[in-house]
Amino acid sequence: MSTDSLYQELVRLRETLENHNYNYYVLDNPSIPDAEYDRMFRRLQEIEQQQPEWQSAQSPSQRVGALARGHLPEVAHEVPMLSLDNAFNEDELTAFQQRVQERTGVTGDLQWCAEPKLDGLAVSLLYEQGQLVRGATRGDGYQGEDITANVKTIRAIPLSLRANEQGEFPERLEVRGEVFISLASFERMNEKALAQGSKLFANPRNAAAGSLRQLDSRITAERSLDFYAYAMGEVTPARQLDNDSHYARLEQLRAWGFPVSRETKRLTTNQACITYYRDLLARRDALPYEIDGVVFKLDAIALQEQLGFVARAPRWAVAQKFPAQEQLTWLRGVDFQVGRTGAITPVARLEPVEVGGVVVSNATLHNADEIERLGVRIGDRVTIRRAGDVIPQVVGVVVDERPANSSAVEFPSRCPVCDSAVERVAGEAVSRCTGGLFCGAQRKEAIKHFASRKALDVDGLGDKLVEMLVDRDWVQHPADLFKLNALQLASLPRMGQKSAENLVNALARSRKTTLARFLYSLGIREVGEATAQNLANYFGSLDALMAASEEQLQEVDDVGVIVAAHVHNFFREPHNQEVINMLTQGERAVYWPEVAPANAASLDLAGHTYVLTGTLEQMTRDEAKEQLQARGAKVAGSVSGKTTGVFAGANAGSKLTRAEQLGVPIYTEAELIKLLES
């Protein structure tokens, strides 16, 4: 590269980094991931080292952050609040340790103080005569912003110092630390913002920074901020300081009332630093707050003073960064995946990029609302986030780099797997395929549900067997189950001739059912046992139900606008109609007794709620439940003051006791049979 080109790159890097500093420190709205910033920063350092005559006091490499915002009073730091140099792998950490040994003349292992690198906002707290008198942001390292009123709202920060065991505390003490927000508080904050229609925070760091720099400290008080101390600035009188150990000074801060991270450790060897880093990296996602690395500081104060500082960082400390959880890449396209419940999820196809130590080429966009919120278009440069085992997701768009040929993301109106209609009920974020009986993506779950105990109750047809049948393409929809024969089934692994015959017989028995069970077996969204029974009672026949309008469906007890839409859309889908016809016609059809519809004759037990408990002798509890529901009654699983009565069989337990406590009428099995026969 020519000298002119290199100088132009230097100018561009300085300007770009200053812009990103402004976005990050002043606006609390970073437009690129930390890893991208680190890459540009290191490139700037390389050029300045290569051409020392180009170095400047105004370069971002000589500063920490950006100038303070004008609307908060400025504070000059008496002792500069500098940043840290970074190590991005174990080799760089080892090289740092070797440089420290060479400069200090120590030949053996050094002692270190290790702590998590919190992803929050650095602050300075000043105490005089034991009272908190000022709080300030780090700002550019030399001047920050006065945030005294806001830090006083953080409960983790003491308003008054506690005396140590000797009954002492400094006359003047400056404490440095990190203000951050826990993951739980961050989630609650965004849930509240979503409910209020406000802008969501991109990450906990932004949430902490935005909360701490409010003009109205009442807003800060609502945000549940936290604080960990990690260093001291000015201390008067200095004789009260532990002059031997950085770790011991942190223990002094604890004694004076400051929280210090419980993850902070004193390490006695260089190798122990690598072990500590690996351990914290493995536990990173289990911590209640976000961290982006580990900070290692020489524990010996005398050695710290011997090494001193460079322009922007101490020579005796380093931050070893974790693999970046956010990266920039290009969005090349969007595919739409159909889940086992019919949910349609947009998946971004990306230019492959390494995030968190894993190469990512796909990331979720969640749903249509999220696409609209992000304003993302195909061709955009996007921020990808991956935390632990969480599925990578698109969390931001670099609008300034949007190409002219970008295109909108169009959500499909037809299922990309089976071409059934896609429904999105008002008030729901998720779009779903309506072809539940037909759709290949939903096939396994649909058949498992169809054969389950409360549906057609096919004895012996377990989940693993269903998966084998679908994987071999023997069963594409529920109607195919009744085409299976014993010879075919006996060829499956761990399926003998007798087991195969038993399954064929169980399938034959399951064909005789009830309309309510059949409706439940179809797996219509939000149609459980009780709703299926209500639909069967009201319409009396499958044909009448399938022909019903949404308005007619809403006349059924417990069927509201949303459930009516699900039922209506399900039966209007031609693919579902095709499978239902195959299930209900021919020699192997499912059948049930005719039911007198409730809209033609009232049900005498409508409005009553019963509970069944104990062992019945003349029928099963499921049979009793079906007969009660067929007469319009509700059968509940627990006893309450609204329960009409409890039918108790042998060995009845807590439900019987609860009924006695509430004074709910208790009946025998004989009285149940008499009621059902009346």
3-state secondary structure 380-438: CEEEEECCCCCCCEEEEECHHHCCCCCECCCCCCECCCCCCEEECCCCCCCEEECCCCC
- At residue 341, the pLDDT reads 80
Residue with tokens 């054969």: 451
- At residue 601, the pLDDT reads 47
Structure tokens at 272: 């122990």
Instruction: Mark whether 265 is an active-site residue.
Output: no
Closest alpha carbon to 17 in 53, 51, 52, 56: 56
- At residue 389, the pLDDT reads 62
Q: Which residues contact 339 (CB under 8 A, 6 or more apart)?
A: 345, 441, 442
- At residue 62, the pLDDT reads 66
User: Per residue in 232-264, is it b (16+ CB within 10 Å) or e — as a string?
Assistant: bbebeeeebbeeebbbebbebbebbbbbbbebb
Pairing relation of β-strands 172-181 and 393-397?
A: unpaired
Q: How many residues does the chain have?
A: 678
CA 199 to chain centre: 18
Of 117, 297, 321, 625, which residue is the catalytic one?
A: 117
Contact status, residue 645 vs residue 666, Cβ threshold 8 Å: yes
Q: Which residues contact 312 (CB under 8 A, 6 or more apart)?
A: 61, 62, 63, 64, 82, 83, 141
Closest alpha carbon to 323 in 274, 386, 270: 386
- At residue 651, the pLDDT reads 86
pTM equals 0.61
User: pLDDT tens digit string along 8-26?
Assistant: 999 999 888 878 876 775 4
Contact status, residue 312 vs residue 132, Cβ threshold 8 Å: no
User: pLDDT tens digit string along 577-599?
Assistant: 999 999 998 888 998 887 666 55
Report the C-alpha gap between 449 and 440 in whole angstroms. 15
Report the C-alpha gap between 598 and 536 in whole angstroms. 9
One-letter amino acid of 353: V
Contact status, residue 442 vs residue 422, Cβ threshold 8 Å: no
Q: Which residues contact 95 (CB under 8 A, 6 or more apart)?
A: 87
Which DSSP symbol is given to 69? Answer: P
- At residue 35, the pLDDT reads 84
Whole-number Cα distances in Å, 204 to 34, 183, 224? 14, 7, 12
Residue with tokens 């976005």: 23
What parts of the chain have a pLDDT lower than 50?
A: 26, 65-66, 68, 600-601
